[in-house]
């Protein structure tokens, strides 16, 4: 099966650290959200530092890392935000 191509939206500290709002990635077909995060953590050290706190929003809803990704999924990486 061909790899799954995804466009990720970055927010908060990930957007700042990587210097971009969108990240295009490929993952093996059948990958789950956790697999995506593991691949990103190996590829991008700035993402690895936040791996344990990233939440996945897929198709505008928070999903568990066990969610199986599909072509056309709208994926956003959300990190905790604090403010005052």
Domain ranges of the chain: 1-6+28-84
Q: Which CATH number fits domain 1-6+28-84: 3.10.20.30, 3.65.10.10, 3.40.50.1820, 1.10.10.10?
A: 3.10.20.30
User: Rounded mean pLDDT of 9-26?
Assistant: 94
User: Rounded mean pLDDT of 35-52?
Assistant: 94
Q: pTM value?
A: 0.91
> Above 90 in pLDDT, residue 82?
no
Q: Classify 31 as helix, strand or coil.
A: coil
> Above 90 in pLDDT, residue 69?
yes
Residue 40: which residues within 8 A CB-CB, separation 6 or more?
25, 47, 48, 51, 77
Report the pLDDT value the prediction gives residue 54, as an integer from 0 to 100. 95
Report the pLDDT value the prediction gives residue 80, as an integer from 0 to 100. 83
Report the pLDDT value the prediction gives residue 46, as an integer from 0 to 100. 87
Within 10 Å of residue 16's Cβ, how many Cβ atoms? 11
């Amino acid at each position: 099966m061909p790899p799954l191509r995804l466009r990720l939206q970055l927010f908060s500290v990930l957007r700042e650290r990587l210097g971009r709002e969108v990240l295009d990635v490929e993952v093996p077909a059948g990958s789950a959200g956790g697999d995506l995060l593991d691949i990103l953590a190996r590829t991008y050290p700035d993402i690895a530092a936040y791996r344990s706190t990233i939440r996945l929003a897929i198709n505008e809803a928070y999903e568990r890392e066990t969610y199986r990704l599909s072509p056309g999924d709208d994926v956003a990486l959300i990190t905790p935000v604090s403010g005052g």
